[in-house]
């Protein structure tokens, strides 16, 4: 299998990296967090202007039609900035959700998303906490979804709901965030992003609001895990780079810390964890096109476990090697640690994915079946 990037892919990664280096330095990120939406609308418009927000959407509706590898490169570059923006739900999850939508559904949403006019949030609740029932005009939604990232600034929610009569069956809806009966209570998360608790009371939406059933929900979740893996690699690159620079410049007892062999070994262990995660992020991107649903689920569960463990290890080592300054607001590595504390729980925590991977028989069973 050829893992080399082509010229277009390298140019895409470089373009996003330049955007990050110019407009998303750590000091700028802290200023963006203080804005009303918790992220910079001006930077969001710049991202739309270079086609970033429409990256994975169909070209016939105004997107660029990029694949999973291109999305991986973009999310990895963005991960180095610890982004506060709703790139994941808008750029990745929305594209996965609308991929199998009708032409009318895509026409209603893709152009506005790609231009930066519509921001999405992922409201992936447990099916029993939000219930959808049919009526003569479409659907009625009732329930609540806690801790929806970017939920207070989103224009629409990608909402997972159980179906009335069988809450274990899930469906995915795209719901206007300002619909009658929908209430949002916003707050700031531990890692500096914005979130909201969502309550729905007899929220009505048309039949076209339903995008698909449980198989679509699972496909969107898998796309989210793969994108998080790529973002995590970028965050680990940031943490390792800052840590190596600190070891080279911090002088103790007349010599840089980098001369201490024990600290060299710890930096080498961080690098190994990063490279393992880089491979798993590539594996996740390639497995998104796997037609075998069970095999794809097994692969993404393994990715989620590895990324969670490696990210937490790299971030913890980075903070420890920086010393006390590593936990201050002014030091970026502390924010990496906060990011991984929340990232590990997105789309299911590591223990749940590890249990699912074990029930599937793991890679050994998959190889035996092959």
Q: CA 223 → CA 92, 164, 238, 246, distances in Å?
A: 7, 27, 23, 35
Q: CA 68 → CA 50, 91, 225, distances in Å?
A: 18, 12, 12
If asked whether residues 339 and 238 sit together in one domain, one would say yes
The answer to whether 306 and 270 are in contact (CB under 8 A) is no
Instruction: Tell whether 2 is covered by a domain.
Output: no
Element (H, E) at 253: none
Instruction: Tell whether 351 is covered by a domain.
Output: yes
If asked whether residues 147 and 165 sit together in one domain, one would say yes
On the question of pLDDT at 189 being above 80, the answer is yes
Instruction: Tell whether 334 is covered by a domain.
Output: yes
Per-residue model confidence as pLDDT tens digits over 112-137: 999 999 999 999 977 778 999 999 88
If asked whether residues 269 and 327 sit together in one domain, one would say yes
If asked whether residues 132 and 231 sit together in one domain, one would say no
The answer to whether 353 and 100 are in contact (CB under 8 A) is no
Q: pTM to 2 decimals?
A: 0.94
> What is the predicted pLDDT for the residue at 252?
84
Tokens in use for 303?
A: 């990715």
Instruction: Tell whether 313 is covered by a domain.
Output: yes
Q: How many domains does the chain have?
A: 3
Tokens in use for 70?
A: 């291109």
CATH number of the domain that residue 278 is part of: 1.20.140.10
What range does the domain containing 167 cover?
A: 121-213
On the question of pLDDT at 27 being above 80, the answer is yes
From 89, 119, 149, the end of a domain falls on 119
Helices of type H across 256-361? 261-287, 293-322, 332-343, 350-359
> What is the predicted pLDDT for the residue at 5?
76
From 186, 213, 240, the end of a domain falls on 213
CATH number of the domain that residue 107 is part of: 1.10.540.10
- To the nearest whole percent, how much of the chain has pLDDT over 90? 77
Per-residue model confidence as pLDDT tens digits over 293-316: 999 999 999 999 999 999 999 999
If asked whether residues 237 and 342 sit together in one domain, one would say yes
């Amino acid at each position: 299998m050829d893992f080399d990037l082509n010229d277009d892919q390298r140019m895409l990664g470089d373009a996003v990296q330049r955007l990050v280096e110019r407009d998303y330095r750590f000091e700028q990120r802290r200023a963006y967090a203080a804005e009303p939406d918790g992220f910079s609308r001006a930077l969001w418009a710049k991202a739309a202007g270079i086609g970033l927000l429409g990256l994975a959407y169909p070209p016939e509706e105004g997107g660029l039609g990029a694949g999973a590898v291109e999305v991986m490169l973009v999310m990895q570059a963005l991960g180095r900035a610890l982004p506060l923006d709703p790139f994941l739900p808008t750029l990745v999850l929305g594209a996965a959700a609308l991929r199998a939508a009708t032409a009318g559904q895509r026409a209603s949403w893709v152009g506005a998303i790609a231009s930066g006019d519509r921001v999405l949030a992922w409201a992936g609740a447990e099916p029993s906490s939000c219930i959808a029932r049919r009526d003569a005009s479409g659907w009625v939604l009732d329930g609540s979804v806690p801790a929806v990232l970017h939920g207070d600034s989103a224009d629409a929610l990608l909402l997972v709901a159980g179906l009335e009569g069988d809450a274990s069956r899930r469906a995915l809806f795209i719901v206007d965030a300002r619909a009658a009966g929908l209430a949002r209570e916003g707050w700031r998360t531990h890692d500096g992003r914005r979130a909201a608790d969502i309550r729905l009371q007899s929220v009505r939406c048309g039949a076209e609001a339903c995008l698909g059933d449980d198989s679509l929900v699972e496909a969107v979740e898998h796309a989210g895990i793969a994108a998080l893996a790529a973002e995590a690699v970028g965050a680990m690159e940031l943490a390792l780079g800052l840590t190596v620079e600190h070891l080279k410049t911090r002088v103790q007892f007349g010599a840089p810390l980098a001369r201490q062999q024990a600290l060299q070994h710890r930096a080498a262990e961080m690098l190994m964890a990063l490279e393992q995660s880089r491979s798993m992020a590539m594996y996740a991107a390639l497995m998104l096109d796997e037609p075998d649903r069970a095999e794809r689920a097994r692969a993404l569960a393994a990715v989620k476990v590895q990324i969670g463990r490696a990210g937490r290890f790299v971030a913890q080592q980075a903070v420890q090697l920086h010393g006390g300054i590593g936990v201050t607001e002014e030091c970026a590595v502390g924010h990496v640690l906060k990011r991984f504390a929340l990232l590990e729980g997105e789309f299911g925590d590591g223990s749940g994915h590890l249990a699912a991977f074990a029930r599937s028989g793991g890679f050994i069973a998959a190889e035996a079946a092959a």
